[in-house]
Chains A and B, each alone.
Chain A
Amino acid sequence: MSQYKMTASTRNVLFGAIGLGLVCMVLTWFGDDGNHSRFWSNFLHNSLFFTMIAAMGLFFNAAGITAYAGWYTTFKRLWEAYSMFIGIGLIFLVILGLGNYFGWHHLYHWANKADVETDTILKGKSSFLNNNWYLFGTIIFGGLWAFLAYRMRQLSLTEDNHGDSSFKYHKAQRVYAAATLPVIGFTSAAMLWLWLMSIDAHWYSTLFAWYSTVSAFVAMIAITILMIIFLKFNGYLSVVNSNHLHDLGKYLFAFSIFWTYLWFSQFMLIWYANIGEETIYFKERYNNYPALFFINIGLNFLVPFFALMRNDVKRKIGSLVFVSVLMLFGHWLDYFLMIKPGVLITAQHAAHGHEAATEGAAHGVEHASNFVAGFTMPGLLELGTFIGFLGLFAYFSLWILSKAPLVPKQDPYLEESIHHHVI
């Protein structure tokens, strides 16, 4: 079967997941504090996580094309499909960008004009940390990613029908792929500072953008493994075999270790130098989120390190699914831990500001050391929202996949990929 067709049951399950997500978001909204911090931070968390996964799909496909990689052609349509999700993710991020203007949410401390006026540090950053940069940066840079993703997929589809032995469509893809690398390389850093690092508006770390990018990359590989196994179980992608999964398992293993390396580099240097402006980030997480802090590093490092070390494990479907599910969830937690503590501080600050006017708006966020539902630990509503977004991502990817042959034709590396053999 070369053409994927979504079955009714798959569609129902995914719609069910999306529905569950919507219900959870509505419930979150009504049980929230006055500024709906929990709702908006969940929205940001999942939008950003899946947008970055989509961007990493684009990036890895571009890197593979540039590096003459011949092994992944049989399933490259998956990465092309993920990359199309950038457009959906951008809609969400634009909503957040508009929210900054209209005060829909209080996720970013720097968006609070009154506070910026009295805060020297935030004032100093205000030529970058402002509503315009956030919104137009998202639209322009994110739009550029979406454009590159769209062009690369179009060329790949054209190659299916019109490709010949001159490989001119592949060569055209090479141009876009080469351009994608620096575009994502430079702009993703700037956008991650805005979307993510600026939540802790005073804090800064030069490594942060690379760290959060690699986190999404590992999650992208995990989703890819799960998606391939799902498709294979439904009788598709018979040309993808345990050799391809083995290599994906290696990527999951290697980049989990690379993620750990970046985690350690950032943490250790900040801990060692002990400069107050920097330690504040980890101090907050270590003191008030100790469980998540250790689960994050334990889950995302120890599990893949020990589980995937052996060769044979990377060729076994069951073990791969187990580790991939954990890694997807683990890096989702990593993003949770990057986002929630800063949002909570800003929320508490905003709530206390409102307190004079509306008594009781600050319920539940009074003390940082106390348990705050949806912040200290992901609750059921967070999990439900995650399932909703995951359902959306999966539905969208499968929908895109159903529009073209699953295995590309006329790709110059197709034969290499079909005959791919490890060891």
Chain B
Amino acid sequence: MSAVVSPIRKPLITGNKTYHQITEDLISPTEKTPTKAWIIGFIIAVAVATYGIFCIIWTIWVGIGSWNLNRTINWSWDITNFVWWIGIGHAGTLISAILLLFRQKWRTGVNRAAEAMTIFAVICAGLFPIIHMGRVWLAFFIMPYPNTRGPLWPNFNSPLLWDVFAISTYFTVSLLFWYTGLVPDFATVRDRAKGLRRKIYNTLSFGWTGSAKHWQRWESLSLILAGIATPLVLSVHTIVSFDFATSVIPGWHTTIFPPYFVAGAIFSGFAMVLTLMIITRKLLKLEDYITIEHIESMNKVILLTGTIVGVAYLTELFISWYSGYVYEQFAFFNRALGPYWWSYFGMMFCNVVSPQFFWKKSWRRNVTLTFFLSIVVNIGMWFERFVIIATTLARDYIPSSWSLYSPSWVEIGIYVGTMGIFFTLYLIFVRVAPVVAVAEIKHILKTGGNQYVGENAKSHTHHTNEH
């Protein structure tokens, strides 16, 4: 990488940090006793998660009949939530793999938390299809292995089965990527720890010594995993979109779905990263590492992906008219002006209109506004999936089977419960691991620290890039 830094680049680490201070700032949150805010948050998260688990058990005990699905609307909140969570997971992989390939140094401030978020989001997502099977104890039927059930194999032509492979691969690679990054940082935690804690972190860091050989292997592994993860960013949500697009249902079957789902997923993922990081940077006092520049960059990604999604919405809408295919035309007429019109307008407003605020520089750099809009975007992306799934199903080919849907308390409980699970896992994560990648931050100090670049730098050009 170039050691010469353009004079118009802004520093990515502020506060004249030394290598030691970086270690102090980023490792110490795992060493202190939890703050009151953390304890309260954790209790709430666990309580909500418990309620969600209760609702899941209720579903399994009573059956899918405890949900308000019916013959017409046989997918609704369950699959909406599934796609929503999967989408949220996308930012982690994008930041760790694609932004790495694009040499975007600001990724180092947020990649660790985003990758953790990916894993937790995929866990939440994976729950829904499994519960939806009804007889969860037969879930292993989806695994294609030479079986004792006679010639009974899953349907390999079904995108639902492709999902099983796509998501489990995605989860595995994301986990490996995240953990690979954690190994040197766990070693840093270990070096400062004593007693049992030291033993635990030593095991977690696989006895990392920081030798040149370790670093060299670590870098090779990271590059290979980035290479594998990059097509995964595209493949996972592409295959999720196939769940709909391979059908012949107007409003579901459209060729733009694969790339548009991917863009939407990155969009919602970045919104969730922003929601989490704005709280985390405040509570853990990480403003020097997750700076306004980071927030601004992420807001630009939100603006970009939100607008791509907007192009896709308008394309779909236009082509439905252009196709001259009455069922297609009706599907979109129904979305915009049918009984669920509010969800279509909610989607359009939250996903396409609200990010446009970020054209203005001072608003991109406004933390309060960003926090608010990041939540708006996540609501919008939930609406998008609801529009696609429930609104489309509610009006099928036969008007006599038209129906409406509202969720039962069990469905709401499970959805809210997954948020509890998500935040429980995230809160545990911030206690046991550095939220910002220590080694990677140190790696960019000489090209991103404010004593080296930007207004307060001692000189503007020709730093040597020593590590």
From residue A69, how far is it (CB to closest CB) to chain B in Å? 8
Is A186 at the interface (CB under 8 A from chain B)? yes
Are the C-beta atoms of A273 and B253 separated by less than 8 Å? yes
**Could you show 30 A-B contacts with beta carbons less than 8 Å apart?**
A68-B9, A71-B2, A120-B324, A185-B311, A186-B314, A189-B311, A206-B254, A206-B255, A207-B255, A208-B255, A210-B256, A261-B238, A261-B258, A269-B242, A269-B245, A269-B246, A269-B253, A273-B245, A273-B247, A273-B253, A275-B248, A277-B323, A412-B6, A412-B7, A415-B4, A416-B5, A419-B2, A419-B3, A419-B4, A420-B2
Complex interface: chain A residues within 8 A of B3 (CB):
419, 421
Among residues 1 to 55 in chain B, which have CB atoms less than 8 Å away from a CB atom of chain A? 1-9
Is A165 at the interface (CB under 8 A from chain B)? yes
Interface residues of B (CB under 8 A from A): 1-9, 101-102, 231, 234, 238, 242, 245-248, 253-259, 300, 304, 307-308, 311-312, 314-316, 319, 322-325, 359, 461
Identify A125's interface contact among B257, B324, B359, CB under 8 A.
Answer: B324
Cα distance A71–B6 in the bound complex, in angstroms: 11
Complex interface: chain B residues within 8 A of A101 (CB):
none
Cα distance A210–B258 in the bound complex, in angstroms: 12
Are the C-beta atoms of B315 and A189 separated by less than 8 Å? yes
A265-B255, A269-B253, A270-B255 are contacts. A185–B323 as well, Cβ < 8 Å?
A: no
Complex interface: chain B residues within 8 A of A420 (CB):
2
Is A373 at the interface (CB under 8 A from chain B)? no
Are the C-beta atoms of A265 and B4 separated by less than 8 Å? no
Closest 3 interchain pairs by CB?
Answer: A206-B256, A207-B255, A265-B258
Is A288 at the interface (CB under 8 A from chain B)? no
Cα distance A71–B311 in the bound complex, in angstroms: 29
Cα distance A419–B248 in the bound complex, in angstroms: 54
Cα distance A270–B123 in the bound complex, in angstroms: 32
Are the C-beta atoms of A182 and B246 separated by less than 8 Å? no
A125-B322, A206-B319 are contacts. A413–B6 as well, Cβ < 8 Å?
A: yes
Complex interface: chain A residues within 8 A of B325 (CB):
277
From residue B171, how far is it (CB to closest CB) to chain A in Å? 21
Are the C-beta atoms of A185 and B255 separated by less than 8 Å? no
Q: Binary interface profile of A, 163-200, with partner B (CB < 8 Å = 1, else 0)? A: 00101001000000010011001100100010000000
From residue B351, how far is it (CB to closest CB) to chain A in Å? 15
Cα distance A202–B4 in the bound complex, in angstroms: 55
Are the C-beta atoms of A121 and B255 separated by less than 8 Å? no
Apart from A206-B255, A265-B238, list 10 A-B contacts with CB within 8 A: A66-B300, A68-B9, A121-B324, A270-B255, A273-B253, A277-B323, A413-B6, A415-B6, A416-B2, A416-B6
Cα distance A238–B223 in the bound complex, in angstroms: 30
Is A15 at the interface (CB under 8 A from chain B)? no
From residue B239, how far is it (CB to closest CB) to chain A in Å? 11
Most interface-central of A66, A128, A189, A250 (chain B CB within 10 A): A189
Complex interface: chain A residues within 8 A of B315 (CB):
189, 206, 209
Complex interface: chain A residues within 8 A of B324 (CB):
120-121, 124-125, 202
Cα distance A273–B252 in the bound complex, in angstroms: 11
From residue B359, how far is it (CB to closest CB) to chain A in Å? 8
Is A266 at the interface (CB under 8 A from chain B)? yes
From residue A126, how far is it (CB to closest CB) to chain B in Å? 11
Is A143 at the interface (CB under 8 A from chain B)? no
Complex interface: chain B residues within 8 A of A70 (CB):
2, 6
Is A262 at the interface (CB under 8 A from chain B)? yes
Complex interface: chain A residues within 8 A of B2 (CB):
70-71, 416, 419-421
Is A102 at the interface (CB under 8 A from chain B)? no
Cα distance A182–B356 in the bound complex, in angstroms: 11
From residue B90, how far is it (CB to closest CB) to chain A in Å? 16
Q: Binary interface profile of A, 333-359, with partner B (CB < 8 Å = 1, else 0)? A: 000000000000000000000000000
Are the C-beta atoms of B256 and A207 separated by less than 8 Å? yes
Complex interface: chain A residues within 8 A of B238 (CB):
261, 265
Instruction: Identify the closest chain B residue to A120 (Cβ).
Output: B324
From residue A299, how far is it (CB to closest CB) to chain B in Å? 21
Among residues 41 to 95 in chain A, which have CB atoms less than 8 Å away from a CB atom of chain B? 66-68, 70-71
From residue B263, how far is it (CB to closest CB) to chain A in Å? 10
Cα distance A164–B429 in the bound complex, in angstroms: 48
Complex interface: chain B residues within 8 A of A306 (CB):
none
Identify B319's interface contact among A204, A210, A250, CB under 8 A.
Answer: A204
Instruction: Identify the closest chain B residue to A267 (Cβ).
Output: B255
From residue A387, how far is it (CB to closest CB) to chain B in Å? 34
From residue A416, how far is it (CB to closest CB) to chain B in Å? 5
Cα distance A208–B319 in the bound complex, in angstroms: 11
Complex interface: chain A residues within 8 A of B461 (CB):
415
Are the C-beta atoms of A269 and B323 separated by less than 8 Å? no
Is A205 at the interface (CB under 8 A from chain B)? yes
Are the C-beta atoms of B323 and A265 separated by less than 8 Å? no
From residue A215, how far is it (CB to closest CB) to chain B in Å? 14
Identify A275's interface contact among B253, B304, B308, CB under 8 A.
Answer: B253
Is A272 at the interface (CB under 8 A from chain B)? yes
Complex interface: chain B residues within 8 A of A209 (CB):
315
Cα distance A112–B441 in the bound complex, in angstroms: 64
From residue B232, how far is it (CB to closest CB) to chain A in Å? 12
Identify B246's interface contact among A67, A181, A262, A273, CB under 8 A.
Answer: A273
Cα distance A209–B256 in the bound complex, in angstroms: 9
Q: Binary interface profile of A, 254-273, with partner B (CB < 8 Å = 1, else 0)? A: 00010001100110011011
Q: Binary interface profile of A, 398-423, with partner B (CB < 8 Å = 1, else 0)? A: 00000000000000110110111100
Cα distance A70–B1 in the bound complex, in angstroms: 11
From residue B221, how far is it (CB to closest CB) to chain A in Å? 16
Instruction: Identify the closest chain A residue to B325 (Cβ).
Output: A277
Most interface-central of B248, B253, B324 (chain A CB within 10 A): B324
Complex interface: chain A residues within 8 A of B6 (CB):
68, 70, 412-413, 415-416
Complex interface: chain B residues within 8 A of A170 (CB):
8
From residue A314, how far is it (CB to closest CB) to chain B in Å? 13
From residue B330, how far is it (CB to closest CB) to chain A in Å? 14
Cα distance A292–B156 in the bound complex, in angstroms: 30
A185-B307, A189-B315, A420-B2 are contacts. A205–B255 as well, Cβ < 8 Å?
A: yes
Are the C-beta atoms of A262 and B1 separated by less than 8 Å? no
Are the C-beta atoms of A262 and B259 separated by less than 8 Å? yes
From residue B46, how far is it (CB to closest CB) to chain A in Å? 41
From residue A218, how far is it (CB to closest CB) to chain B in Å? 16
Cα distance A182–B308 in the bound complex, in angstroms: 9
From residue B269, how far is it (CB to closest CB) to chain A in Å? 18
Most interface-central of B245, B307, B316 (chain A CB within 10 A): B245
Cα distance A197–B337 in the bound complex, in angstroms: 29
Complex interface: chain A residues within 8 A of B102 (CB):
67
Are the C-beta atoms of B255 and A266 separated by less than 8 Å? yes
From residue B400, how far is it (CB to closest CB) to chain A in Å? 24
Complex interface: chain A residues within 8 A of B259 (CB):
207, 210, 261-262, 265
From residue B147, how far is it (CB to closest CB) to chain A in Å? 27
Cα distance A349–B9 in the bound complex, in angstroms: 60
Cα distance A333–B324 in the bound complex, in angstroms: 30
Are the C-beta atoms of B248 and A206 separated by less than 8 Å? no
Complex interface: chain A residues within 8 A of B319 (CB):
204-206
Cα distance A418–B4 in the bound complex, in angstroms: 9
Cα distance A207–B245 in the bound complex, in angstroms: 12
Complex interface: chain A residues within 8 A of B314 (CB):
186
Among residues 142 to 169 in chain A, which have CB atoms less than 8 Å away from a CB atom of chain B? 165, 167
Complex interface: chain B residues within 8 A of A419 (CB):
2-4
Complex interface: chain B residues within 8 A of A275 (CB):
248, 253
Instruction: Identify the closest chain B residue to A128 (Cβ).
Output: B322
